[in-house]
Amino acid sequence: MRFLFVAIELLHAGLMVAAPASAQLPVIRFVRDPDPAPAFSLKDLGGKDLRVEAYRGKVVLLNFWATWCGPCREEIPGLIALQKHYAEKLQIIGLVVDEDDEKNVRDVMQAEGINYPVAVADMKTRVDYGGIMALPTMFLINAEGRVVQKHVGLFNPALYETEIRALLGLPIAAKVETFEDDGDIFLKHADRAKILPGVDMSALSPEQRESALHKFNAESCTCGCKFTLAQCRIYDPACVISQQRTAAILKEISAKETTPERK
């Protein structure tokens, strides 16, 4: 990663960096056919209208965070630096969750010197973006207003910067790959997933696997998440209920296939 940091610093100085032939470039990944970013209409803490579609033409980092979240606070200085450096081509938006005290948010904004708009996310916005079960959660939106990547947890600002530069058509010291969203970005695409966390389908035939995946996407999890079993496994791998139920379905399918039918 040191190569990436040095390369970015040199690019800032206006120098093109050619990677040594023996060096393996870092890889960044974008969704192949990205969905439009769900619209929202909020008021930022300055009282101004805040809509993601208003920033069409810019790259947007949509950051769901909370004042009590340590990793969220830790990444703020890096976001401030990115907003300052790419002010004409980038817009960072902070959406606070689980925070009713707006004064506390304003105090944090002032203490940190946040230079991008911040609003309190309503429940509809949180649901539209997948429920936001972990913080921080960052959505990367391209200039056409489509979500090309999502990051959950604390990430190095160098990664965000590399992705931003790639979307802006600026030189980067990284390789760009694309992937099909199978629930990693939006849960509505969980039906495309062929592999689910904690679900071992290696012993199944192709037909059995298809049958199992169909059941995982047709049956709802009873843990209270209101997701399908497939969605719950993707979004909450620690859920014991969806893990037990998917295991039971696998057992049922295997038993049905191996037990001869009675005539």
Instruction: Write down the residue that tokens 């802006």 correspond to.
Output: 168
Q: Residue ranges per domain, the chain?
A: 2-179, 187-258
Measured CA to CA, the distance from residue 229 to residue 243 in angstroms comes to: 8
Predicted pLDDT at 13: 34
Distances (CA, A) of 138 to 6, 67, 203, 206, 248: 24, 15, 36, 35, 34
**If one looks up domain 2-179 in CATH, what number appears?**
3.40.30.10
Measured CA to CA, the distance from residue 63 to residue 137 in angstroms comes to: 6
Predicted pLDDT at 31: 96
Return the percentage of the chain with pLDDT > 90, whole number.
62
Predicted pLDDT at 23: 59
Measured CA to CA, the distance from residue 127 to residue 122 in angstroms comes to: 9
Q: What is the pLDDT of residues 168-214, one digit of tens each?
A: 999 999 999 999 998 878 877 777 778 888 899 988 999 998 899 88
**pTM of the predicted model, to two decimals?**
0.74
User: Burial letters for 195-231: b for 16+ Cβ neighbours within 10 Å, e otherwise?
Assistant: ebbebebeebeeebbebbbebbbeeebebebebbbbb
Q: What is the pLDDT of residues 24-76, one digit of tens each?
A: 889 999 999 999 999 999 999 999 999 999 999 999 999 999 999 999 999 99
